[in-house]
Amino acid sequence: MSQTPDSAVRTYIEQHRAAFLDDLAAWLRIPSVSAQPDHAPDVRRSAEWLAGKLRETGFPTAEVWETAGAPAVFAEWPSDDPEAPTVLVYGHHDVQPAAVEDGWDSDPFEPVVRENRLYARGAADDKGQVFFHTLGVRAHLAATGRTAPAVNLKLLIEGEEESGSAHFRELVEERAALLAADAVIVSDTGMWSEDTPTVCTGMRGLADCEIRLYGPDQDIHSGSFGGAVPNPATAAARLVAALHDEHARVAVPGFYDGIVELTDRERELFAELPFDEERWLRTAKSRAAHGEAGHSTLERIWARPTAEVNGIGGGYQGPGGKTIIPSSAMVKLSFRLVAGQDPDHIEKAVRDWAAEQVPAGIRHEIVFGAATRPCLTPLDHPALQSVVRAMGRAFEKPVRFTREGGSGPAADLQEVLGAPVLFLGISVPSDGWHAPNEKVELDLLLKGVETSAYLWGDLAGHWSRTP
């Protein structure tokens, strides 16, 4: 470990920290909510803002890439070393929906720093974790005296991650030649805790759907007709109730087909982590652990597939009562998938199961979103070891291994580009992804900058590019 460049990196980061945070705040003010059609202009504005900032950072190429949905951003900074490997950093510039009335202490799109934390929608997921690479690459150049990075550095920052990455695969396939890389660094995950830096080795996949159930052609009087016709809200509830069996296993036939079970080594790595269930429950804002029988909490969130209700609605939800049988009801379900599960197979299994469950007299339809495949990185990959070393230098602590329960389109990159996927993230579980009061810890964000600053040199020094 070389002390001189490390201290040069730290000095550079300290000197540029204020401008870096101002820039990030400007980006966070753009409400780039990809799931809500009326925010489409904001998603575009976010892409344009980022492309401009990357050009300002020094990337010779930084451009907005159109898709059939929301635009992505691509940037490229070739190394001055013709032998350098090529790395593609993946992240996203769109964010989850957020509204003050969901329980935010301040406007989700007006970033504010309280107690060394930056609060805003997207602070951790994922604008903060994309943006640390801008100061990271500048610090890498400043500390090494280079004019171009030690690797051929590419960024692909998509605009539809929070709404299912519907056009991402198509984009990657179309632009595969420009995106070609020896490794993909996914900058959209987290680490174990403030005190325990970790590298993530896999992500769950995601399939999601909305099931709409239709009963009477309009709301009808529950006194005049109650007890004698099927109620679509009851049908929706019975469908959800049938999702899990008494062991909290998903009861959709075929759901577990082909899954890759955990190895003993992976169980050991999980067990090495300082897991405190009471503390974890506080982070989950929950009062009890509950899940598939025969598995630990960590296994449940990282290595087991799940089915969750994200939303349910039907009938009268206002104040007081309204004695109706509602005309319709709906449920939004999402399924986290693990290695070995195929989203197409899951969609078919859920459709068949729902058709079995819905009673006579209730019509139903199911709309699936775009699926995200699960993925896993080999523990012994040399580029993974570079990430571990760069993170160890930044945090000055041993780096352990985790997985990520969330989902991302990393598996598409792995499949189309034929490159291994590595995960680098500095977010912690308390950051509140998808929740009110999302934040990022400023100290960790700057460790992310520092890791990024060390990573390109380490990669170039320890791993040769594909011939």
Question: Looking only at residues 354 through 373 of this chain, which bind its own copies when binding is defined by CB under 8 A?
Answer: 359-363, 369
| Angle made by CA atoms 166, 172, 174, in degrees to the nearest 5 | 105
Beta-carbon contacts of 425 under 8 Å, excluding residues fewer than 6 positions away, are: 129, 186, 187, 188, 189, 190, 191, 200, 404, 448
Among 304, 364, 373, 447, the residue binding its own copies under the rule CB under 8 A is 304
> Would you count residue 291 as binding its own copies (CB under 8 A)?
yes
Q: Please pick, from the candidates 61, 196, 334, 385, the single residue that binds its own copies as defined by CB under 8 A.
A: 334
| Residue 221 touches its own copies, criterion: CB under 8 A | yes
- Give the relative orientation of helices 442-462 and 127-144 as an angle to the nearest 10 degrees: 50
**CA atoms 382, 387, 389, 390: torsion sign:** positive
100 near its own copies (CB under 8 A):
no
Contact call for residues 419 and 219 (beta carbons, < 8 A): no
Q: Which of 60, 311, 382, 418 binds its own copies (CB under 8 A)?
A: 311
Identify the residue among 96, 201, 386, 414 touching its own copies (CB under 8 A): 96
The secondary structure of residue 260, as a DSSP letter, is: P
Q: Judged by CB under 8 A, does residue 92 bind its own copies?
A: no
Q: Quick one: which of 281, 366, 379, 442 contacts its own copies (CB under 8 A)?
A: 281
Instruction: Yes or no: say if 264 and 236 are a contact pair by the CB < 8 Å rule.
Output: no
Binder to its own copies among 1, 18, 177, 228 (CB under 8 A)?
228
Q: How far is CA 322 from the centre of its chain?
A: 40
CB of 65 to its own copies, least distance (A): 22
91 binds its own copies (CB under 8 A): no
Q: Is 123 in the site for its own copies (CB under 8 A)?
A: no
414 backbone φψ class: left, alpha, beta (φ>0; ψ -120 to 50): alpha
Q: Do the Cβ atoms of 39 and 32 come closer than 8 Å? A: yes
Give the residue, chosen from 2, 106, 323, 464, that forms a contact with its own copies under the rule CB under 8 A. 323
Interaction with its own copies in 128-187: which residues (CB under 8 A)? 163-164
DSSP string across 437-465: T-EEEHHHHHHHHHHHHHHHHHHHHH-PP
Residue 10 as a binder of its own copies (CB under 8 A): the answer is no
Given a contact cutoff of 8 angstroms between Cβ atoms, the answer to whether 199 and 399 are in contact is yes
Nearer Cβ to its own copies, position 15 or 310? Answer: 310
Question: Coil, strand, or helix at residue 126?
Answer: coil
The alpha carbon of residue 122 and the mean position of all alpha carbons in its chain are separated, in whole angstroms, by: 11
Is the CB of 8 or the CB of 166 nearer to its own copies? 166
**Among 135, 243, 269, 349, which residue interacts with its own copies (rule: CB under 8 A)?**
243
Query: Any contact of residue 224 with its own copies (CB under 8 A)?
Result: yes
Out of 71, 91, 409, 429, the only residue in the binding site for its own copies (CB under 8 A) is 429
Using CB under 8 A, pick the residue from 237, 260, 262, 366 that binds its own copies.
237
Applying CB under 8 A, the span of 81-89, 170-178, 242-250, 254-262 interacting with its own copies comes to 242-250
Assess 201 for contact with its own copies (CB under 8 A): no
CA distance 236 to 331: 7
CB of 76 to its own copies, least distance (A): 30
Burial class (CB in 10 A: 0-12, 13-18, 19+), 97: middle
Shortest reach from residue 152's CB to its own copies, in Å: 31
**68 binding its own copies? (CB under 8 A):** no
| Alpha-carbon span 139 to 16, nearest angstrom | 9
Q: How far is the CB of 3 from its own copies (least distance, A)?
A: 36
According to the binding rule CB under 8 A, does residue 403 interact with its own copies? no
- Residue of 118, 183, 206, 417 interacting with its own copies (CB under 8 A): 206
CB of residue 420 to its own copies, shortest distance in Å: 22
Cα angle: 204, vertex 297, 124; to 5 degrees: 55
Tell me: does residue 262 bind its own copies (CB under 8 A): no
3-class secondary-structure state, position 291? coil
Residue 193 makes contact with its own copies by CB under 8 A: no
Tell whether residue 294 is a contact of its own copies (CB under 8 A): no
Non-local (6+) Cβ contacts of 252 within 8 A are 243, 307, 349, 350, 353
Q: Between residues 313 and 398, which has the closer beta carbon with respect to its own copies?
A: 313
